[in-house]
Structures are given as structure tokens and as C-alpha cells.
Amino acid sequence: MSRRQIFAGNWKMYKTYNEAVDLVKGIMKDIADIGSKEVVVFPPAVYLRDIVSLCKNSGIDVGIQNIHFEKEGAFTGEISPLMAKDVEVRYALIGHSERRHVFHETDDEVNKKVKAALEAGLEPVVCVGELLEEREAGKSEDVVRRQTEVAFKDIDIKFVQKIIIAYEPVWAIGTGKVATPDIADTMHKSIRETVKKKYNEKTADGISILYGGSVKPENIAELYAKDNIDGVLVGGASLKIKSFLDIIHVAQ
């Protein structure tokens, strides 16, 4: 089963406006030969409208790093899925570990955001991943199963193909400690099993699962060689034109 192969850059709270424009222009110059691989960037929200317009017909899709689950309201500082859709964003990153652990987002909120994103016509990229102490206690698969089950609660099967999952072990994010390809592959398989139990085999086989956590040009080849790794969500190494392009090009 051929699944979508996605190379996504999460810019987090980095880059001035001019730097963001330079970065996306630099990426678009060198992706003509990447075949069916898809490139996505998640810039800071204030730049989205301009980055979306720069990326038209460039082969780069754009996503928002976070959304609120309500359509509108008195939620100072928040951005609704309708607003993201209105500026023609395609993807919404939901439940990134920094949202879960720094901003205390819960599994239920993640589920509400997934529903709200789908309802607005955005494609959710749902992040799951265990903490170091959970891995050391042998609970990684249980934690990620729970996060996945709750994220997909009450989501109709017809929407599931719109959802992308990113497995990002919290201990590997921004730490330089990448999961071994075997760990990542095992976790991706287990996530696919959870989706299969809830829906069916065909649906589970079709869903793209990205790996994230200290992905670099030096480790992409062995990660991407794994059957269950359908692309990557890159933080630090997506902030430089060369390292992000190297990741996309090295992956075969």
C-alpha cells in the first residue's frame, strides 16, 4: 500500500518575517526533483497569509502550528480553525508535545481540535509520543495507544484518511537524541495497530505516520528506510534551508 510521504518543517516560535520568507523561498528553489514526496511548512501564525501566497504552485503546503477548537469567541490570543482555513492553510498541527507539556493541553482537547479542524476542512497532523520516564517504565506503547485512541474518539471513518499522525517521543524532541529506527518502527506499527482495531486494516494501512524528534540529514536515511515511517516532522533542522533540503533529498 503506498502511503503519502510527507516532509514537514515545524518552525515553532523562530524566525523574523524576512527570515521566514527567505527560508521558504530557499526551500522552493530546490524541490523540483523530489518526485512524490510532499513538503509542508508550519510557520508562526502571523506569517501564514503571506507564506501561503508565496507557496502557491511551489510544491510546498502550509500548516498552522496550533488551533483552538471553537469557531470563534472570547478566547484572547487564540486562532480558530475557520480563521486558518480562511487564509488557505491546508494542515493543522495538533497536540504537539510542547502544546501538551508546556501549555498543558489534554488528550480530550486534542480530540476536540481534531474534530474542529476536520469540520473546518483542515487536515490534522496529530502528534503523539511518550515522556522519558514513561519509556523507562516500559509504558511507551500504552501511552501512545491512549493518546491515539482519544485523538480519534468519535471521528468517522470517512475522515480518517485526512488525518496524519506524527510519532514524536518527547525525549527526542530538541534533545539531539533520536529514536533508533527500530524503536520508531515498532511504535509506528503499534499506532497502526490501534487505528486498525478502531477502524479496519485498509484504513490503518493507508494512514501516513511521520517520525519526529532530532531528525537530521545524518539520521534520515536509516529512519526513512523503515517500512512504517512515511516521512518526518522536523524542528531544529528545518530552520536552515540546507539541512531541511538535505533531509528531503537524502531520504530515498
Positions touching ligand PGA (CB under 6 A) are 10, 168, 173-174, 212-215, 233-237
Pairing label, strands 231-234, 164-167: unpaired
Q: What number of other Cβ atoms are within 10 A of residue 106's Cβ?
A: 11
- β-sheet bridge partners, residue 211: 167, 232
- Least separation, in Å, of the C-beta of 42 and ligand PGA? 9
- Please identify, using beta-carbon distances, which residue of 23 and 215 lies nearer to ligand PGA: 215
- Least separation, in Å, of the C-beta of 169 and ligand PGA? 10
- Please identify, using beta-carbon distances, which residue of 8 and 28 lies nearer to ligand PGA: 8
DSSP state of 239: S
Name residue, grid cell 503571506: 50
Residue 123 a catalytic site member = no
Rounded CA-CA distance 221/143 in Å is: 27
Q: Which residue is nearest to ligand PGA (CB)?
A: 235
Rounded CA-CA distance 120/82 in Å is: 6
Q: What is the number of helices (H) and of strands (E) in the chain?
A: 12, 8
- Least separation, in Å, of the C-beta of 167 and ligand PGA? 11
Rounded CA-CA distance 139/210 in Å is: 21
- Please identify, using beta-carbon distances, which residue of 40 and 79 lies nearer to ligand PGA: 40
- Least separation, in Å, of the C-beta of 152 and ligand PGA? 20
Q: Is the dihedral of CA 15, 16, 19, 20 positive or negative?
A: positive
- Least separation, in Å, of the C-beta of 163 and ligand PGA? 17
Residue 149 a catalytic site member = no
- Please identify, using beta-carbon distances, which residue of 63 and 236 lies nearer to ligand PGA: 236
Q: Across 66-130, where does the E strand assignment appear? A: 91-94, 123-128
Task: With CA atoms as reference, report the closest residue to 31 among 71, 1, 60.
Answer: 60
CB-based contact 39:58 (threshold 8 Å)? no
Runs of H (alpha helix) within 152-233: 157-160, 181-198, 201-206, 220-224
Catalytic residue among 38, 109, 168, 188: 168
Catalytic residue among 38, 96, 98, 188: 96
- Least separation, in Å, of the C-beta of 76 and ligand PGA? 25
- Please identify, using beta-carbon distances, which residue of 84 and 223 lies nearer to ligand PGA: 223
- Please identify, using beta-carbon distances, which residue of 60 and 204 lies nearer to ligand PGA: 60
Name residue, grid cell 524503536: 183
Residues catalogued as catalytic: 96, 168
